[in-house]
Structure 1
């Protein structure tokens, strides 16, 4: 990344200029949109408040004097379509992890581990049998995920197309699974298919990563989160980006530059205005206040931020629900189960995420108290991609660990963020240590100042550092990636048709009759004004590092101008 691609005074002669498109926010989705639009010949300006592009998908040296570039906020890649990578000519190496997940378990005085290989085989089957006492759970596991894989293969290609009606998608897939996943709380499906508490929990975790909900929540936000975690590229596999998440956004920024987009950093957008035909964006840079006129404005910011920039009352404030802890270890710790830590930490390492533990933690947090035994999961990037460590760290056996604590809503930190953060970290790491055969702290490296290489981010910290309101990593609650069918009556096919901050109906063109007037295809990026589009995680098919909203916002503009 470069500190500042373009100085505003060099870009805008006399204080004003005109662009076909101005993109507010230089995170990964804004860069995807810029690359597509500039590549199609549209003059495109990207404005980023921070001194670098990338948003939350960055790699940074977190610890003073330590040559380790950690993926600080987002870690893995699943939803980024291979088509976008190919279209934009991105130079990326996304590596598969040899292990999908490992769950340490303590039962009847024994320490065990549920090992799920990425390509499941005899080790996975024997692990299920050792934990559950029979082959039944594993056989059901294979049936269940086989059905989900079929659904994913059908849904994934539609994410880069205009939205399809729910009724059409339902006709393409197993209707029983569709109903179970989109019309009733996910907890019912999990409980009907599995009996073991740990197995149920491993399945359920995909429903609560970044989403604060119980598994029987009638809103079905947990169902939507579960779906998004399993449909990436039709496989649902979560891969490790070589070089860290910053390698992804660096590649996107390079693609946007090659296509001719102007990227301006250190640019704090003050206001946006769009009337359906014309737009104006005003920002503050190092050389003062600047303004650019344009035909289209793309908002790569949360809907709550967009409302503020428009001078409107904000939609309901989103609330993030995670604790993120970054660690650098001298070496991987030994496990009480006796399993090889290089295998156990090679995938997603689950901590206290039994089904009952997930529900208890949610109930406690919903009641306003920190979970006594907080569920969490751990990722070791350096086992799959040691390139993020300097040569000396690699040679001495150092490793990174990133811990994602579940059910830590922002409300818990409102009164005293610092004290609550410290106690939350203590509880999460105590949970990890309970499955170790040795204390954790001696395994944690120290930085140049002699401090532990440990960094924690609460939802409030994430909001302060990268501007996500409430620290919500998806900008707002995820929505179904299809058009509702109002007549069907089911929660998965009817209900709200837009994200907070949009018009109330996707594809609304406003009264201007300008670009995007009635009759255009619906991409799930529309607002109440035809030439103002959402290209970030707040779009209908937003959330996670995917580039899908950026692609779809760009395609919405390009199809209108054909």
Structure 2
């Protein structure tokens, strides 16, 4: 076994949180080593050329940015550009024009609500609800990069404490129904409580409410933006910040064990040729899931929720025409909702909970190349090609375990057929072909995510999200990253109080915990 010199900190995992932690610590003068199992850094936030001979950089797993605070971007001088989407969402409705919600509301949004619901009442409720959410986001977002507040301290800083309390204590479906009555409109709102989370929106367990909150609070606006150059541009900028500050990044380095001591941690790992190595660290920052940290420290893995998403990456030869007559360059420019009415969400959850792949899978689609053509190579751009990402809800990992390949194939068949119901031409006819003549379509179930990224159960948040507030009096003033080992701090989404999505919040909190310690 080869031994290396010691470091002030070793970071396990070069996902976005690990990279953010490494950059902060290195900029503070710490010696930092980052160990990453895969051949590239970035974790789930990477860009890849998925299809042979097709010069398109797809955001293979994570695909949009909302929660990444401007403060982290400024602190680390991240060279990243995020593009706004002109359209917030378009919801396809069989036999009708659908529901268009502009990013900056104009006459088209009002007309669309009126055509769908027959009056202006639903739009008025929409405005009230999202106006209150906007106020809550403005007040809550700055606290995400501060030490944890007590519930009372946080409530005192909010202009909408009643909405905050409702989201924490009432079923999300009831909170939404206070203002929205139309089945389709309620469904559009409820989907933000289900992205990557298998939850019952009628339960008062807070699971859907927490997911909803994180999707609406980002940077004080809740706006989801497209990273120019693909998601890999974000983590590439984070890696560059870490390296420029002096951190060492080692890929193809599989951490096999952690030995915490009172004065530090010995980190055991193997390199790409199987050589066993060990390095001593004053502290370890773990960017891996909590269950992985348990395994590395030799403790029984804690229970972890499964992921619940179907991800389909595609490259299109052309945007498909819509039966509604809406310009596809408008409809696909934001979040394109399919079969996500409130009743359809309920039916799909009930079937999945009973162990069945939903007959109708709620899903949404994104065309990032409409906002960021730079992900397309010159020839692909000239040919009018586009990317298309599909994200399905209520498809938990357990549904795929008995027959992973067959169930994934059937899930893809169903969502393609559902999308075809709203298209004038079959989706498969619009797909580009790779160098082997195969259609450019790649699907991943939660089990595929688990296999590729070591995320237990394929859960994209590493587990259930937490409310961004101190859970106990002892947590007040901390950063919410403590583990059972004083020399090891968590940085992953599921291992920290404030994690989830591509935010860097876990990495920021881990670094602050170490840098602010007595």
TM-score range, shorter chain: over 0.9
Shift of 1:318: 2.5
Deviation readout 1:517-550 (Å, 9 max, x if unpaired):
xxxx410111122211001112110111000110
Aligned to 2:415: 428
Shift of 1:197: 0.3
Instruction: Give the secondary structure class of the aligned counterpart of 2:67.
Output: coil
Give the 5 Å matches for 1:281-292: 281-286=267-272, 288-292=275-279
Aligned to 1:58: 46
Does residue 450 (structure 1) correspond to residue 437 (structure 2)? The answer is: yes
Give the 5 Å matches for 1:230-379: 230-286=216-272, 288-379=275-366
Shift of 1:112: 1.5
Does residue 20 (structure 1) correspond to residue 8 (structure 2)? The answer is: yes
Please point out which of 484, 488, 506 is paired with 1:528: 484
| RMSD over aligned Cα atoms | 1.2
Q: Which runs of 4+ in 1 moved over 4 A?
A: none
Please point out which of 406, 409, 413 is paired with 1:419: 406
Instruction: Give the secondary structure class of the aligned counterpart of 1:560.
Output: coil
**Equivalent-residue separation in structure 1 for 2:126 and 2:298 (angstroms):** 50
Does residue 149 (structure 1) correspond to residue 134 (structure 2)? The answer is: yes
Deviation readout 1:415-437 (Å, 9 max, x if unpaired):
01000000000001111111111
Do 1:506 and 1:526's aligned partners in 2 also have CA atoms closer than 8 Å?
A: no
Aligned to 1:491: none
Gaps of 5+ in 1: 1-8, 487-504, 508-520
Please point out which of 138, 150, 162 is paired with 1:165: 150
Instruction: Give the secondary structure class of the aligned counterpart of 1:155.
Output: helix
Does residue 117 (structure 1) correspond to residue 74 (structure 2)? The answer is: no
Please point out which of 489, 493, 508 is paired with 1:551: 508
Shift of 1:276: 4.0
Taking structure 2 as the reference length, the TM-score comes to: 0.98
Do 1:25 and 1:299's aligned partners in 2 also have CA atoms closer than 8 Å?
A: yes
Aligned to 1:182: 168
Instruction: Give the secondary structure class of the aligned counterpart of 2:92.
Output: strand
Shift of 1:178: 2.0
Deviation readout 1:125-157 (Å, 9 max, x if unpaired):
111001010000101111111101111111101
Do 1:276 and 1:532's aligned partners in 2 also have CA atoms closer than 8 Å?
A: no
Shift of 1:295: 1.0
Aligned to 1:398: 385
Give the 5 Å matches for 1:69-148: 69-106=57-94, 110-148=95-133
Aligned to 1:468: 455
Do 1:506 and 1:527's aligned partners in 2 also have CA atoms closer than 8 Å?
A: no
Instruction: Give the secondary structure class of the aligned counterpart of 2:312.
Output: strand
Shift of 1:506: 4.7
Do 1:17 and 1:291's aligned partners in 2 also have CA atoms closer than 8 Å?
A: no
Deviation readout 1:45-83 (Å, 9 max, x if unpaired):
100000110001000000011101100000000000011
**Equivalent-residue separation in structure 2 for 1:276 and 1:111 (angstroms):** 66
Count of aligned pairs between the two proteins: 515
Aligned to 1:489: none
**Equivalent-residue separation in structure 1 for 2:137 and 2:259 (angstroms):** 38
Do 1:326 and 1:455's aligned partners in 2 also have CA atoms closer than 8 Å?
A: yes
**Equivalent-residue separation in structure 2 for 1:99 and 1:119 (angstroms):** 8
**Equivalent-residue separation in structure 2 for 1:437 and 1:104 (angstroms):** 13
Deviation readout 1:363-390 (Å, 9 max, x if unpaired):
0000000110100000101000011111
Taking structure 1 as the reference length, the TM-score comes to: 0.90
Instruction: Give the secondary structure class of the aligned counterpart of 2:10.
Output: strand
Shift of 1:560: 1.2
Deviation readout 1:102-131 (Å, 9 max, x if unpaired):
00112xxx3221000001111111110010
Deviation readout 1:458-496 (Å, 9 max, x if unpaired):
00000001111100000000000001368xxxxxxxxxx
Aligned to 1:6: none
Do 2:169 and 2:204's aligned partners in 1 also have CA atoms closer than 8 Å?
A: no
